[in-house]
Each structure stands twice: as structure tokens, then as C-alpha cells.
Amino acid sequence: MFEKEINFIKSLFPDKKSIALHEPVFKGNEKAYVAETIDSTFVSSVGEFVTRFESMLCEATGAKYAVATVNGTSALHSALLLSGVKNGDLVITQSLTFVATANAIAYCGAEPLFIDIDEDALGLSSSALLIFLEENTTTKDGQCFHNDSGRKISACVPMHTFGHPCRIDEIVNICSEYFIPVIEDAAEALGSFYKEKSAGTFGSMGVLSFNGNKIVTCGGGGAIITDDENIAVLAKHMTTTAKKPHKYEFFHDMTGFNYRMPNLNAALGCAQLEKLSDFVLNKRQLAEIYMDFFKGSGFSFIREPENSRSNYWLCSVLVSDKNIRNAFLDFAHESGVMVRPVWEPMHTLPMYGKCPRGNLPITEKIAARLINLPSGVRL
């Protein structure tokens, strides 16, 4: 039934017996830099590559400061705490996201409040956000409260899904009117731009991920990016067990976390960042090829939103219904081609099923019909 589509995908990756969804490419200085860390013996969270990696992130995104962490989830957890999220608070986000977004909110003792997405960008909808805030919240003394529960809404976490920027400027402006700080979940969006500005640099903080399947990888890793020096200093302190600098004393002045990125991972990341522009160009070329192939078919290719330049971290198509989606997924996997559906929406999971939410018609529509295609850098 889907031989044409699967054979086409195989033709894009002719050197692969089985085709992964998104595997890393190591064709630069990765081995040399990792060997350098081993030779230096500085393989943990102290080392020159961590500093270099943070500097390269600033150069890549235009952010003034970057703080490298062990993964994207730890970066988001720290960013939420730095924004003042406390036990019992609500944090606005989207239901169509990777579970780490909701988990990081839960780590703070807070609860997600789910808002619908835009159909074109797949990220938090600014119009749905505004309607919800107008109809369901009250502001008082520079804070925003949810009317039904009386709980404070202490942050908003929109996600740039699959590298496609959401309408982040509108979201930031709306949240500003309601005294809600914005933390961008840009885990998938390194190398993506909205209105010529890097994803992750619109809110008070942005969060990045460097997991093995991201556009660049450290094996594991994440980062907080920000233009606020005070936030950056505190983020570095908090993620390094909150230890006060001293040549031999161990004094910690707050509850901190062992979230600092090891030098070994940063070395890998530096070599990967040297190739970022090449990776983005390669992946955008792949997106164009997919776009042309699926034109006029029963598959609708998801293009970058207006005013955006996406890294196309994962290329995606929409099909007519869930049955067609599942049939394609089964056929592809039997053929050695790894495709996947989008994540189960957070509001359908047992631990988040009772969280407050707005109406989610677009979320549910997209979740049933979306397929991610193999999207790795082609050598």
C-alpha cells in the first residue's frame, strides 16, 4: 500500500540497511576533542570545553549568556525555579510536547495548564492563550491567578515543535500583560529563527537539548540561554550544587543541583557546533526534497511557518486519519524504516489527565494524524 513512499525514503539514505529517525553524524573534530579531555584528565564538570561550548552557543543563538547542563530537562527544571515557580503554582504549556516539558514543571511541585496549539506551527497558540487568559484569569498586584482554582500562574513554557518556531513574539507580549514570565522550550530548535531572531532568545530564558537525536549532540546535554546576567550567574551557581567558590572549603548557600555539563560531553558538543550551519543546510535541503515528493499526494508535508527559518529537526507529514497513520507506521517499520507518531498528548497521560486545560481541538486533531519521517543529516 505504501511501497512508493517507503522506496522513496530508502532512496534518500542509500547507504543504510535500516533507516533511523535521526542519528548523529560525527565527521569533524569529535574524536580529537574528546581525546584531548581524556589526556587532560578533566572529564567532569570542570574543563575548558564547557566554557568554550557555552561561548559557541552564545555565538550561534545571539544570546548574551549560556549555562550548559547535563540535559534539557535539568535546564528546564532550573529555569522554572529561577523564574520563581513554586509548589502549588500553575505553569502554562502545550499538551502536544515531549513528556520532559510537563515533568520539569512537576519537579517544581507545580502543575501544567494545557493550552491548544496552532495547526501550522504546532506550537502554543497565541490566540488560544489570549482567549484563555481573558476568560479564566485575574491579575492582582503584578501576578496572574487562575479563577477556578485561585492558584498563581507563575510561568509559560511554549515549545518550538520539531524545530518550527511558534508565534513567540505574540506569546511574550500577551504574557507580559498578565505578568507571566516566558521560558522557551527550544530543545528541538537550535539553528531555527523567527523574524531573523534565534528561537530561545525571546523569553526571559530559553532551554536547549543536545540528546543523541538532536541536530547537534553532546551524547546528553542541555543549556539555559538568556540575556540577563543575574539569571545566568544564578543558573550556573544553582546547577553546580550552589557551592561558593573557595580553594578548599565546601560551603553551599542554597539547595542546588548537580546539573553541570561534564567537560567530556562539552568537547563532543564543541565539535558538533562547528558543523551546525552545515547540518541545518543539509536538513533544509532534505525538507525541500520531501516537500516536492509529497506534493499532490495523500500526505500533507508540514512546512516551516510564516516568518520562520526552521532547522527542520524532524520532517513531518499529516495523513487523513489515525487508521492510515497506524497502517503506514506498521508498514514502514516492517520495511526497516523508522518513522514515528507524535507524542501522546500530555492531557491523555495518567499523571497529567486531571490538570487544568483549555479546549484542545487542534492538539487532538494533529496527534491522531502526524507522522515523523527519517530526518537525519545525509552524508
Q: What is the pLDDT of residues 11-48, one digit of tens each?
A: 999 988 899 999 999 999 999 999 999 999 999 988 89
Which pLDDT value is given to residue 290?
Answer: 98
Query: Does 154 lie in the same domain as 288?
Result: no
Residue 379 lies inside a defined structural domain of this protein = no
Question: Could you tell me if residue 253 is inside a domain?
Answer: yes
Kindly state whether residues 14 and 116 are assigned to the same domain: no
pTM of this structure: 0.96
Cell for 162? 520539531
pLDDT computed for residue 302 by the predictor: 98
Residues 241, 119, single domain; the answer is yes
Per residue in 181-217, pLDDT (tens digit) is: 999 999 999 999 999 999 999 999 999 999 999 999 9
Cβ atoms within 10 Å, residue 338: 19
In three-state form (DSSP H/G/I as H, E/B as E, the rest C), the secondary structure along 299-365 is CEECCCCCCEECCCCCCEEECCCHHHHHHHHHHHHHCCECCEECCCCHHHCCCCCCCCECCCHHHHH
The boundaries of the domain holding residue 309 are 3-22+276-346+357-372
* 233 and 304 housed in the same domain: no
Residue 377 within a domain: no
Residue 89 has pLDDT above 90, yes or no: yes
Say whether both 270 and 285 belong to one domain.
Answer: no
- In order of 126, 137, 139, 158, the CA distances from 177 in angstroms are 13, 12, 9, 16
Q: Is residue 378 part of a domain?
A: no
Same domain, 124 and 172: yes
Q: Determine how β-strand 308-309 pairs with β-strand 65-69.
A: unpaired
* Statement to judge: residues 307 and 248 lie in one domain: no
* Span 277-318, pLDDT tens digits: 999 999 999 999 999 999 999 999 999 999 999 999 999 999
Q: Which of 250, 275, 300 is the last residue of a domain?
A: 275
CATH number of the domain that 269 lies in? 3.40.640.10
Residue 336 covered by a domain: yes
- Is the domain of 337 the same as that of 365? yes
- What's the mean pLDDT in 72-91? 98
Answer with the one of 230, 247, 275 that is the final residue of a domain. 275
Percent of the chain with pLDDT over 90: 97
When divided into structural domains, the chain yields a total of 2
